[in-house]
């Protein structure tokens, strides 16, 4: 079995050469913060576009399926692209395409021709671009930050993502949606355009494709590294279960929360509930370094899973906007803890030359089943009721707890601990 490289060995293979000065963190995460803001707008825009076209649960689930399906089919090829092509160009191209397709949808809304088929195509294109952009973005921090600052850098990036994607984005989307869907859609396109301009200024080490490199063997190499690494494999299946559960849950939660659903929220209130829920995510992003000094990673991951399930079930047990916001806040906090620890561990264990492909393989396996979760949520909601669907998917994350308690992190559990505060961050 292939033995995973140690973090010290990997540091020599990263795009940041040993002894080279690390950039200030805000210069790296600033462009991503703007892109996260656009993602926050899109998080509210796409479900509302679906509801504008239909109220059939299966159709709403189909839109969610198209948004997440590219992770199952496109991600491996995106990983090769990220490892063998200029990563900055990947980020720019993905932003440009998302901007263009949303401008087209805004024009269709203004003319009254934005039907379900247009929403489905939009969801699919946004999903493909998301795969390429996120795969490239995951490789940036480890290529420019030293290993002892990586955990703290990931935590602060999560804080920026929380403020932009979960607070500012949904809140702004709720205000714009109260006016009309067309201004909301066009505003999302404009923010993606701004992210495009900012990301052009990033200095990212370029990876050149080796002579005679072939796509399919390169994809297999990424999957093989991931599969041979027991701890990464366990984290992959845990993420897969959680992503599938949330995909099925959130697709039906929109029907449950927005009037005439049982919760009876308007579109503006729905956006504000999502924004208020970001408070938990932000608090967790700031607290992860401290929490990990006190609690071992495997136990912190297990606690996160319990909170994820609790957050998903709370709005069902106690219907109302306050319980919904509290549940989503708890869910968001737990997801941030899980993501910071698992992403940092993966970045430390994988050589830079493989990071794009291993990240893509991880997300293909972890998120590849999410589209099926969205469809299953629609089917269960259609035939057994939306509330039943929410309960079923809310309980799903708990099944991974036994595997987490024996997670073989070994020495890496200590290496995950963040370094002391650095003024340059």
- In tens, the pLDDT along 210-223 reads 666 688 888 888 89
Place of tokens 């493909």: 128
pLDDT at 205 over 80: no
pLDDT at 192 over 90: yes
pLDDT at 176 over 70: yes
pLDDT at 332 over 80: yes
Angle at 182 between CA 177 and CA 184, to 5 degrees: 45
- This model's pTM is above 0.85: no
Predicted confidence at residue 22, as pLDDT, reads: 52
End-to-end CA distance of the chain: 38
* Residue among 400, 413, 360, 367 at smallest CA distance from 238: 400
Predicted confidence at residue 51, as pLDDT, reads: 83
Q: How many CB atoms lie within 10 A of CB 11?
A: 19
Predicted confidence at residue 101, as pLDDT, reads: 94
Percentage of residues in the chain having pLDDT higher than 90 = 12
Predicted confidence at residue 113, as pLDDT, reads: 80
Quickly state the pLDDT bin for 50 (edges 50, 70, 90).
confident
Quickly state the pLDDT bin for 282 (edges 50, 70, 90).
confident
pLDDT at 115 over 90: no
Quickly state the pLDDT bin for 3 (edges 50, 70, 90).
very low
Quickly state the pLDDT bin for 67 (edges 50, 70, 90).
confident
Report the C-alpha gap between 218 and 186 in whole angstroms.
Answer: 38
Q: How many CB atoms lie within 10 A of CB 244?
A: 25
Q: In the predicted model, what is the mean pLDDT of residues 113-121?
A: 86
Q: Where are the alpha helices (DSSP H) in 295-400?
A: 297-317, 321-349, 352-367, 370-384, 386-395
Predicted confidence at residue 285, as pLDDT, reads: 78
Report the C-alpha gap between 197 and 345 in whole angstroms.
Answer: 31
Which tokens sit at 328?
Answer: 């989503």
Predicted confidence at residue 128, as pLDDT, reads: 92
Report the C-alpha gap between 168 and 191 in whole angstroms.
Answer: 12
Quickly state the pLDDT bin for 206 (edges 50, 70, 90).
low
The mean-pLDDT minimum among 136-145, 194-203, 374-383 falls in 136-145
Query: Per mean pLDDT, which of 97-111, 359-373, 375-389 is the most reliable?
Result: 97-111
Predicted confidence at residue 423, as pLDDT, reads: 35
């Amino acid at each position: 079995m292939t033995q995973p490289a140690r973090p010290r060995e990997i540091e020599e293979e990263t795009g940041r050469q040993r002894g080279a000065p690390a950039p200030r963190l805000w210069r790296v995460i600033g462009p991503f913060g703007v892109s996260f803001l656009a993602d926050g707008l899109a998080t509210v825009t796409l479900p509302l576009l679906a509801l504008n076209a239909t109220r059939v649960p299966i159709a709403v689930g189909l839109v969610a399926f198209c948004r997440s399906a590219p992770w199952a089919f496109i991600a491996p090829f995106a990983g090769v692209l990220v490892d063998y092509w200029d990563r900055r160009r990947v980020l720019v191209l993905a932003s440009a395409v998302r901007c263009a397709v949303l401008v087209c949808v805004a024009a269709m809304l203004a003319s009254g021709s934005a039907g379900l088929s247009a929403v489905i195509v939009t969801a699919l294109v946004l999903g493909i671009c998301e795969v390429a952009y996120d795969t490239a973005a995951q490789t940036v921090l480890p290529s420019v930050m030293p290993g002892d600052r990586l955990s703290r850098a990931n935590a602060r990036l999560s804080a920026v993502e929380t403020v932009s994607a979960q607070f500012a984005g949904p809140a702004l989307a709720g205000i714009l949606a109260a006016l009309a869907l067309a201004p909301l859609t066009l505003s999302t396109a404009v923010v993606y355009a701004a992210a495009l301009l900012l990301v052009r200024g990033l200095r990212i080490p370029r990876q050149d494709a080796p002579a005679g490199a072939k796509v399919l063997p390169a994809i297999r190499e990424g999957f093989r590294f991931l599969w041979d690494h027991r701890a990464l494999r366990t984290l992959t299946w845990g993420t897969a279960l959680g992503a599938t559960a949330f995909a099925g849950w959130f697709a039906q939660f929109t029907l449950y929360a927005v009037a005439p659903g049982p919760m009876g929220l308007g579109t503006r209130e729905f956006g504000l509930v999502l924004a208020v829920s970001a408070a938990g995510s932000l608090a967790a992003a700031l607290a992860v370094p401290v929490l990990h000094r006190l609690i071992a990673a495997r136990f912190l991951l297990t606690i996160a899973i319990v909170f994820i399930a609790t957050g998903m079930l709370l709005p069902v047990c106690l219907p109302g906007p306050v319980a919904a916001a509290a549940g989503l806040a708890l869910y968001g906090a737990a997801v941030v803890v899980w993501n910071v620890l698992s992403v940092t561990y993966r970045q430390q264990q994988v050589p830079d030359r493989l990071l794009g492909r291993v990240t893509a393989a991880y997300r293909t396996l972890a998120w590849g089943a999410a589209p099926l979760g969205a469809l299953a949520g629609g089917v269960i909601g259609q035939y057994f009721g939306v509330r039943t669907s929410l309960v079923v998917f809310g309980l799903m994350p708990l099944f991974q707890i036994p595997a987490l308690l024996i997670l073989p992190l070994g020495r890496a559990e200590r290496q995950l601990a963040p370094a002391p505060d650095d003024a340059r961050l």
